[in-house]
Structure 1
Amino acid sequence: MSGIVLSASVRQNLLSLQSTADLLATTQNRLSTGKSVNSALDNPTNYFTAQSLDNRASDINNLLDGIANGVQVLQAANTGLTSLQKLIDSAKSIANQALQTTVGYSSKSSVSTTIAGATAADLRGTTSFASAVANSNVLYSGAAGGVTAATSGATLGGISGSDTGTVINAATTAAKLLNGAAAGDANAGVVAGDTLTVNGKTITFAAGDQPTTTPTGLTQVATSAGVTTGNVYTDTSGNVTVYLGSTTKASIGDVLTAVDLASGVQSNVAGTLTLNAGQTASTVTGGGALKLQSTTGSDLSVTGKADILKALGLTSATGAGNVTATAARTTSSTTVSSLVSSGSTLNVDGHVITFKDAPTPAAASLASTQGVSGNVVTDGNGNSTVYLQSGTISDVLKAIDFATGVQTFTLNGSGGGTLATASGQTPSSINTSGQLKLSTGVNADLSITGTGNALSVFGLAGNTGTASAFTAARTSGVGGIAGKTLTFTSFNGGTAVNVTFGDGTNGTVKTLDQLNSQLQANNLAATIDANGQLTITASNDYASSTIGSTVAGGAIGGTLTSALTFTTASTPTQDVVAQSARANLVSQYNNILNQIDTTSVDSSFNGVNLLNGDQLKLVFDETGKSSLNITGVTYNSKGLGLASLTVGVDFIDNAATNRVLTNLNSASSTLRSEASALGSNLSVVQIRQDFNKNLINVLQTGSSNLTLADTNVEAANSQALSTRQSIAVSALSLANTSQQSVLQLLR
């Protein structure tokens, strides 16, 4: 072929066609690979740079799987921590349940001593209390003008009052029949079943003659002056029955007798109608009108149907409805200006004085547990009844002294007794100004409250007359243990006690509250009973401990122990039922610990357990210089500082339970701290995971920027080269045409 000679035009066109074919092949290669640099020959710099970037991206991508596994390891550990926290909370619930059960001991360790006269308000005792005197407001007599001071002899009851009715029949007398037909008899219209109410007592009118035998619970009132029929019966409560009679009919006198019996003007003494001392019997006036009398102890109140009271001349009203007729007592120079209402009371230092509208009973009529002194009936223990029909201010003062202990009345079992003034005391009295001088006594501060009008009558209701109580303090001195000290060494880790008894100032202790304030920090508590017995007891938290023992501490000492004898510390007594319940809680708690152990072992991923002591190392870059080492922990029960409980040792009292709760709270804090650390590490790992993914993208993008072809340009080049190639083929064909012409000539 070397002998073949091509023309210049042919050769030129052939070379152009070869060049176009090469360029077209290059363009098609770029379009097929998408790269403009496919080998080092294309662009050595870009090729090797891109290759380096792709290699690094590949290396980092290979690390992502390890990082992803690390994330799951951390997630598994976090899941384990969450479960462990819930188990710890369950254990706390069990411990709190133990705290809420019965303390576990029916009695706790205690020491005690008796301080004579000691109270919660003053532990020093009352050996040196002295009686004081308290004055009431001025009491006046009922003399005209209202400024005459009352005296001890002023009576508590008034002057008997009367209610004179209108004339019911001319010249009516007590002997006239109640519903008689004869001239001058009354026509009261009373029928069987009608009643009158007199000062709370009931008068009942019954049909028929008086019974041949005395009805059960009733006593017949024998005939007396002004009573002609004896148709009146009474019961022990003061209620009266009047038999209207058919043969022997009831008289006006029977009605008067019934009213007087119900009001207390007269009494039925062993079947005999007896006028009570100082009282005035109800009568019929010379003009034929009823004259009903009140007692000196109460105003009279008669209530009944209007028609009956009108017929008796006691009202002008008519009809079947009830109306009331009254007769009020009056005062005089021999009485107090304000009369005491029957039923009123004074409560003096917890003892009750009752004021009663009745004559003072005779000693022989009293039970063996009562005695009478003047117009006062007492039980010998400070409770008394003052009888208003003849009682005086002197009687009231005596009753108050019985209540305070200033005076005593020793019963003799026959209704009498021996009156005496307590040693060193002065009986209460009334001064010339009319003030009550009340002795407080030494047993207690004076405290008087009342019902009814008793407080105001005796000037004990304050300056305004509205006070509901009257008080006065005894003169107090230093108690028997003042200046003495009481010590307790530290009891179960508490603060040692060193108290001095005194008046409560300058750090001294007077009251039970002050003593308890000192004892509380040493896990002890004090109580005192009505007999002055001071008892110091272990607190509920340490119910299983014995005061003064070698293990618990709390040995007692101080100068008080030489003045008073303390008992040997008692040992606590277990409550079998409560301890059984607590033992069951111990078993539940130990089951929770077993679950903690298994949960910590199961918190692994792909063989790595950060809660069982394993370590996790994560590499973040291709050189290994960027990494994270996470050291695992051992969070089984022992690793969390928790130990199995023992029946009979743990949960036996609140202190043992609180120790378990302290450990649980510490374990809970440890778990929260580790969860925070794991969360922080997880956040770091996830950030690095995202960073590596983004970095791979950056590297691959950079590599692509160096080697990728511009498809738009290469596509245009491909079209241009195809056109160029077609034109070159045509040009080559034209160049060969001249040679074909020469060939034709040769033929």
Structure 2
Amino acid sequence: MSGIVLSASVRQNLLSLQSTADLLATTQNRLSTGKSVNSALDNPTNFFTAQSLDNRASDINNLLDGIANGVQVLQAANTGLTSLQKLIDSAKSIANQALQTTVGYSTKSNVSTTIAGATAADLRGTTSFASATASSNVLYNGTAGGTTAANGTTTLGATIGAFAGTAATAGDGTTALTGTITLIATNGTTATGLASNAQPADGDTLTVNGKTITFRSGTAPTSAGVPAGSGVSGNLVTDGNGNTTVYLGTAGTPAANVNDLLTAVDLASGVKTVSISSGAATIATSFNQTASSVGGGAVTLRSSTGADLSVTGRADLLKALGVSSSVGGGNATVNVNRTTTSASLGATITDGSTLNVNGHVITFKNAPIPGSTGAPSIPSGYGTSGNVLTDGNGNSTVYLQGGTVNDVLKAIDLATGVQTATISAAGVATLATATGQSNSTINTSGQLKIATGINADLSITGTGNALNVFGLAGNTGSATAFTAARTSGIGGIAGKTLTFTSFNGGTAVNVTFGDGTNGTIKTLDQLNTKLQANNLSATIDANGLLTITASNDYASSTLGSIAAGGAIGGTLTSALTFSTASTPVQDGVAQTARANLVAQFNNILNQIDTTAQDSSFNGVNLLNGDQLKLVFDETAKSSLNITGVTYNSKGLGLASLTVGVDFIDNAAANRVLTNLNAASSTLRSQASSLGSNLSVVQIRQDFNKNLINVLQTGSSNLTLADTNVEAANSQALSTRQSIAVSALSLANTSQQSVLQLLR
């Protein structure tokens, strides 16, 4: 072949075609591998640099599995911590139940002593109460000018008021009015009765001092036919309280007359009294009273000494009686007022008024004292003294028709206990002044000097005008109560001290009893404020028994014991006798409940132990003391060492509880709660530490993933081919190859032409 000589053009075309084929092969190789550097021959520098980058990326990628496992180990530990925290919370709930359960002792250790007269407001006690004296406003009598002081004999009632009407006649207009004139006429004969327009009809009424007089037609019933408690006397039926029914009779047989009507008025006004027995009424004029009457054709109405008189009724009837000038079927009113004198108070008291003295009631009544002339008999169980009727228990009635200021003072003293009453079978009340007391009086200035007594502080309220009349309504006359305090003596423990040494770690107590100032103790609240810091409390009963007791927190401790402390001392112990400190008495039901809680708590501790043991991943348990080492780079220079903890119950500072020792009282429960709170804080701290480590590991995990990408991208950048360029090259080389083949063909054609010439 060496003897073959190619033309220059053919050789040139052949070389070009070979070069193009080589280039095309290279381009196709790059397109098929996607790399521009496929061997060290392509680009030694890029090839070996890319290989180094790929190797490092591979090494780091191999570390990712270990890092991922480390993340799961941390997650397992964190899950365990979360569960342990919940178990700790459950244990806290059990401990709190122990605190809320009835204290485990029916009786706690205590010491006690009795302080005579002591109360919660004043622990010093009282040796005695002395009666104080309270002064009223000045009372004046009825002397003109109103400046003359009243005295003990000044009467409560006033001078009888009298009202003389004008001369009146019967219905015929000529017959003078007399007491026997009937209230209705006989068969129209007006000379025997009132004028027809004045005659009362069945159902008509008169009102006298709030009492009712009712007119009824027909005759009065017999004693057997009257209502229970009422009595009949002639044409009148009365209830004994001033309310009366007047029976008019009939037109054929008139019954009630003017005298009957005046008797009914006097019964209502208190001028007359009635005694009722078996339905029969015995009516009499009250002592020192004057009955209303008819004389010279004129009616004279009279009040009692105990109340003014007010009569309201049909105007025509009152005009026919000559006591009113009003006419017609409407009502008219006649008032008959008393007059005050030097013998009576200047202000009259209203019938029915009351004084309430220390819970006892004094009633003022317009009537004579029971048992007196013309008065009803003394009720069973009551007794009289002067013009006072008493039940012997401090409740009294003062009768205005004969009562005096001294009678009022007597009734007040019976209510306060300054005086006592002994009631005889005959209804006589014998009064005696209580030992060491002085009766209430009225001084020369007209002031009531009221003794408070020793039973209670004085408190007087009233109804009606009683407070004002007796000067007990204050200087302005508008006060609603009159009060005064007794004088009290200071108890024997004033100035004495009481001490307690520290009880169960509390603050030792040093108490001085006094008036509550300058650091002294007066009230129970003040004492308890002092005792609270030493785990003690105090109570006092109605008999002055002061008891110092261990608090609920230390119900199992004994006061004064060597273990607990709280020994009592001070000068008070020599003045009063304290009981020996009692031993606490267990409450069986409560202790059973607390023992059940101990069992529940111990079960929680077992769950804590097993939970801590189970918090592992791939054999590594950070809650059971294992260690975790994580390598982050291929040289092992970057790593993280995580030291595990032992968080079973002992590792958390918790120990199993013992029945009869733990939860036995609130202090024991609080000790457990303190340990649980510490364990909870430990778990939270470790959770924070694990969270921080987990965050670091996850950051490095993400970093390594990103770094692998960077390394692989760098490697690719050094070796990857540009497919767009290589594709264009391939197309260009294919074209070039086609042209080269054509050129070679042309060159061969030229030689063929020469051959043809030779032929």
- Give TM class, smaller chain: 0.7 to 0.9
Given that 2:92 and 2:676 are in contact with CA atoms closer than 8 Å, whether structure 1 keeps it comes out as yes
Given that 2:220 and 2:235 are in contact with CA atoms closer than 8 Å, whether structure 1 keeps it comes out as no
The match for 1:684 is 696
Alpha-carbon distance in 1 for matches of 2:308, 2:101: 63
Please point out which of 263, 266, 272 is paired with 1:266. 272
Given that 2:352 and 2:464 are in contact with CA atoms closer than 8 Å, whether structure 1 keeps it comes out as yes
Question: How far is 1:130 from its partner?
Answer: 4.9
Cα deviation, 1:192-240, whole Å, max 9, x if unaligned, reads 6666666565656666532252656325365xxxxxx2632435x6655
The match for 1:275 is 285
| 5+ residue gaps, structure 1 | 223-228
Question: How far is 1:501 from its partner?
Answer: 0.8
Pair 1:51–1:399, CA change in 2 (3 A): farther
Deviates more, 1:620-629 or 1:575-584: 575-584
Please report the TM-score for the alignment, with normalisation by the length of structure 1: 0.83
1:498 aligns with 2:506: no
The match for 2:229 is 218
The match for 1:365 is 378
Pair 1:687–1:548, CA change in 2 (3 A): same
Given that 1:73 and 1:605 are in contact with CA atoms closer than 8 Å, whether structure 2 keeps it comes out as yes
Name the SS of the counterpart of 1:411 in structure 2: strand
Deviates more, 1:618-627 or 1:358-367: 358-367
Pair 1:613–1:411, CA change in 2 (3 A): farther
1:707 aligns with 2:719: yes
Pair 1:358–1:499, CA change in 2 (3 A): farther
Please report the TM-score for the alignment, with normalisation by the length of structure 2: 0.82
Which structure 2 residues correspond to residues 501-520 of structure 1 after superposition, within 5 A? 501-520=513-532
1:534 aligns with 2:539: no
Question: How far is 1:508 from its partner?
Answer: 0.9
Question: How far is 1:519 from its partner?
Answer: 1.8
The match for 2:343 is 334
Pair 1:485–1:743, CA change in 2 (3 A): same
Alpha-carbon distance in 2 for matches of 1:495, 1:16: 113
Pair 1:475–1:717, CA change in 2 (3 A): same
Alpha-carbon distance in 2 for matches of 1:6, 1:111: 139
Alpha-carbon distance in 1 for matches of 2:203, 2:690: 98
1:621 aligns with 2:645: no
Name the SS of the counterpart of 1:213 in structure 2: helix
Question: How far is 1:583 from its partner?
Answer: 5.6
Name the SS of the counterpart of 2:224 in structure 1: coil
Given that 1:110 and 1:535 are in contact with CA atoms closer than 8 Å, whether structure 2 keeps it comes out as yes
Alpha-carbon distance in 1 for matches of 2:325, 2:669: 82
The match for 1:67 is 67
Question: How far is 1:482 from its partner?
Answer: 1.2
Cα deviation, 1:618-646, whole Å, max 9, x if unaligned, reads 33333333333344444455544455556
Q: Give the superposed CA RMSD.
A: 4.2
| 5+ residue gaps, structure 2 | 171-175
Matched AA of 2:222: P
Deviates more, 1:472-481 or 1:110-119: 472-481
Question: How far is 1:157 from its partner?
Answer: 4.1
Question: How far is 1:561 from its partner?
Answer: 1.6
The match for 1:718 is 730
Question: How far is 1:43 from its partner?
Answer: 2.4
1:27 aligns with 2:27: yes
The match for 1:185 is 193
Which structure 2 residues correspond to residues 138-149 of structure 1 after superposition, within 5 A? 138-149=138-149
Alpha-carbon distance in 2 for matches of 1:158, 1:535: 60
Given that 2:419 and 2:439 are in contact with CA atoms closer than 8 Å, whether structure 1 keeps it comes out as no
The match for 1:48 is 48
Matched AA of 1:67: I
Cα deviation, 1:410-437, whole Å, max 9, x if unaligned, reads 5254444554445555443333333333
Alpha-carbon distance in 2 for matches of 1:502, 1:311: 79
Question: How far is 1:590 from its partner?
Answer: 5.4
Deviates more, 1:42-51 or 1:638-647: 638-647
Pair 1:580–1:211, CA change in 2 (3 A): farther
Matched AA of 2:193: D
Please point out which of 736, 745, 748 is paired with 1:733. 745
Question: How far is 1:500 from its partner?
Answer: 0.8
Please point out which of 222, 236, 239 is paired with 1:234. 239
Alpha-carbon distance in 2 for matches of 1:301, 1:609: 108
The match for 1:523 is 535
Aligned residues: 736
Pair 1:482–1:18, CA change in 2 (3 A): same
Alpha-carbon distance in 2 for matches of 1:252, 1:471: 51
Alpha-carbon distance in 2 for matches of 1:28, 1:309: 151
The match for 2:12 is 12
Cα deviation, 1:382-437, whole Å, max 9, x if unaligned, reads 554444443333333344444445x3325254444554445555443333333333
Question: How far is 1:551 from its partner?
Answer: 4.8
Alpha-carbon distance in 2 for matches of 1:274, 1:107: 71
Alpha-carbon distance in 2 for matches of 1:122, 1:282: 62
Name the SS of the counterpart of 1:493 in structure 2: coil
Given that 2:220 and 2:237 are in contact with CA atoms closer than 8 Å, whether structure 1 keeps it comes out as no
Given that 1:210 and 1:245 are in contact with CA atoms closer than 8 Å, whether structure 2 keeps it comes out as no
Given that 1:343 and 1:355 are in contact with CA atoms closer than 8 Å, whether structure 2 keeps it comes out as yes
Pair 1:462–1:621, CA change in 2 (3 A): farther
Matched AA of 1:701: T
Alpha-carbon distance in 2 for matches of 1:199, 1:651: 77
Name the SS of the counterpart of 1:733 in structure 2: helix
Alpha-carbon distance in 2 for matches of 1:189, 1:106: 84
Matched AA of 1:501: F
Name the SS of the counterpart of 1:728 in structure 2: helix
Question: How far is 1:499 from its partner?
Answer: 0.5
1:454 aligns with 2:466: yes
Alpha-carbon distance in 1 for matches of 2:168, 2:598: 94
